Amino acid sequence: MDDIRFAERDLCVTEAKIAARDVQVHYGTNHALKDVNVDILEQTVTAFIGPSGCGKSTFLRCLNRMNDTIPGCRIEGRLTLDGQDIYDPRVDPVQLRAKVGMVFQKPNPFPKSIYDNVAYGPRIHGLTRNKAELDEIVEKSLRRAALWEEAKDRLASPGTGLSGGQQQRLCIARAIATSPEVLLMDEPCSALDPIATAQIEELIDELRAQFSVVIVTHSMQQAARVSQRTAFFHLGRLVEYGETGQIFTNPHDPRTESYISGRIG
């Protein structure tokens, strides 16, 4: 693992954006996540790693209540965003998801124009008063997602006509158009080639300035490259959570070490 290049770790902010306390997730009779305690920091990229089926995607989907749509899913424990319990009955998941955006594993642009894809979120949340403001948001989001140069001349053409990497950047632009505070990414590069992956990783590092980014990844190199903090999940438990450098070079738990050195998983 000598080739792993660690991201610079300038953890200027140490405030917990999202805090999880004793979170349990059940799918029907299957106890998918056990006793997860984690603090996700602001302006930090947090990577969730672990073998398939270890619960990292499940936990990610808990953070913006996307699990609500899965029948039989039950969540216990306490999950807070800025100190507010996101599973409080008074919370409207729609508002929560405007604050906690999500990018999915497979690029899933709407079968609409590039412009409409990005403008959809601001439109439904009523973030703009007129077309000019909306145009501005669309341009800003596409610029931040590093797609503006490629897309500016074809904003009216369908988003599904872009290449895979471009589609994923479009999805990122769509997610950041509503100015969320946290951006969840569920294996955003698993369907992309190395060049597109490198572009997205670069993008994630830039997004860190404004958002708290949580990324689920199967690639340990990717976790090491982009994240400041890493959480290792195994069999539904959070085994170890800490600074990325420490996790990769000096893991405390023998399971983490086995996984990172390729012995399990």
Partner 1 sequence: MTDAAAPASPAIRDGSLFAPDAHTRRRNAAERRFRAYGITAVALSILALIVLLVSVLGNGAGAFRQTFIQIPVTIDAKIVDPKGNRALDEMKKVTTIGYGKQLEASMLAAVAAAGVATDGLSRKDIAGLLSKEAAAGLRGMVLENPDLIGRTITFRALANGRIDGYFKGRVSMDSAKLDSNISPAQLVLAERLRDAGLVTVAFNPQFLLGADASEVRPEAAGLGVAILGSAYMMIIVLVLALPLGVAASIYLEEFAPKNRWTDLIEVNIANLAAVPSIVYGILGLAIFINTLGLPQSAPIVGGLILTLMTLPTIIIATRVSLAAVPPSIRDAALGVGASRMQAVFHHVLPLALPGILTGTIIGMARALGETAPLLLIGMVAFVREFPAAPPEGFFSPASALPVQVYNFTQRADPAFVERASGAIIVLLVFLICMNAAAIILRRRFERRW
Place of tokens 């056990």: 34
97 touches partner 1 (CB under 8 A): yes
Place of tokens 């450098």: 245
27 touches partner 1 (CB under 8 A): no
Q: 217: closest CA among 86, 60, 20, 3?
A: 60
With beta carbons less than 8 A apart as the criterion, state whether 160 and 109 touch: yes
98 touches partner 1 (CB under 8 A): yes
In the complex, the smallest distance separating the C-beta of residue 156 from partner 1, rounded to whole angstroms, is 15
The residue among 9 and 106 lying less far from partner 1, judged by its C-beta, is: 106
Residues 41-80 that bind partner 1 (CB under 8 A): 64, 66, 69, 71
165 touches partner 1 (CB under 8 A): no
145 touches partner 1 (CB under 8 A): no
Query: How many binding residues for partner 1 (CB under 8 A)?
Result: 27
The residue among 111 and 164 lying less far from partner 1, judged by its C-beta, is: 111
**Hey, what are 33's tokens?**
């996540």
Taking CB under 8 A as the criterion, the residue among 57, 178, 217, 222 binding partner 1 is: 178
CA 8 – CA 46 distance, rounded (Å) = 13
110 touches partner 1 (CB under 8 A): yes
Stretch that binds partner 1, among 75-83, 130-138, 169-177, 252-260 (CB under 8 A): 169-177
Number of other CB atoms surrounding residue 133 within 10 Å: 12
The per-residue DSSP string of 14-75 comes to --EEEEEEEEEEEETTEEEEEEEEEEEETT-EEEEE-STTSSHHHHHHHTTTGGGGSTTEEE
Taking CB under 8 A as the criterion, the residue among 15, 37, 85, 111 binding partner 1 is: 111
In the complex, the smallest distance separating the C-beta of residue 79 from partner 1, rounded to whole angstroms, is 18
